[in-house]
Amino acid sequence: MSAFRPAGGSPAPEGAGVHTWSGLLPLDKPRGMTSHDVVERARRHLGMKAVGHLGTLDPNATGLLVLALGAATRCALVWQGGRKTYAGTARFGIMTDTQDVDGRVLERSDARPSEPQLRAAAENMLGEQDQVPPMVSAIKVGGERLHALARRGVTVERAPRRVRVEAWRWLTIAADEATFEVDCSGGTYVRTLVHDLGARLGCGAALAALRRTRSEPFTLLQACTLATLESAEPAALLARQGVPLDEALQVLPALVLDATAAAAIGHGRAPRVEPGAVALG
């Protein structure tokens, strides 16, 4: 997918406020808020009931959270699953029950990886792999979210998911911590990547910080801050930084129908598409 332009969107119709506007709004989520908290504040300020988000960020994570507004909430699957980029910090010598530094410490180690060991271990984790979601994730098991079970001290069996790690880029490497960027598939848990990396290194590791910088086709350069969202006039904000639904859906392949095929669809019949008629690039 190609990235959308930073500014885009159409102002709401004269006199209609923003209630008829549908599309996506990239936002830079601050630390200490759940993704749902951001959605609720967007609902209040924009005066819109239909607001959702694409791809949950943990409360202590920051960065790109794409809001779906209006009719875009009904086709969120179109934009989910794209590649992600995260900037993070791994802390060595510790293993916790949440796989980040805010959890209960299960093990400590005095061992620390050398830079060659760290780079080699990360290199061996590239490509497709099965990942067991952490208990603090929002996945539902038996109708209940895992993080709700974890808060009660309940641990359940989780089916592994197929994920893909495309690149690790190590930015700074010190004795106890290292900062990195990682490119991965949608649905990848970076805290689990760091945990598994620590297991490979034999010293343990936990996630100390996380910031999402890209969620294909968006980047942080296109995102507004929560403060901007709450201080700006809604229609002006959406005109400046929103991506209207018709533009957002351009990531899908398109097929132009003639009058006969269009009429057939109106009567519930599927159009006949010849091989190669739709460009999938």
Query: Are 44 and 175 spatial neighbours (Cβ–Cβ below 8 Å)?
Result: no
Retrieve residue 179's tokens: 């900062």
Whole-angstrom Cα distance, residue 179 to residue 200? 18
Query: Are 100 and 91 spatial neighbours (Cβ–Cβ below 8 Å)?
Result: no
* Catalytic entry in 58, 100, 183, 196: 58
3-state helix, strand, coil in the chain (%, to 5): 30, 30, 40
CA-CA-CA-CA dihedral for 133, 134, 138, 143, to nearest 10: 80
Q: Is 102 a catalytic residue?
A: no
Query: Are 6 and 28 spatial neighbours (Cβ–Cβ below 8 Å)?
Result: no
Retrieve residue 115's tokens: 């830079």
Distance set, CA 52 to CA 17, 91, 205, 246 (Å): 19, 33, 33, 18
b/e code 194-219 from CB counts within 10 Å (16+ = b): bbbbbebbebbbbbbbbbbbbbbbbb
Retrieve residue 269's tokens: 């019949």
Whole-angstrom Cα distance, residue 105 to residue 99? 9
Q: List active site positions.
A: 58
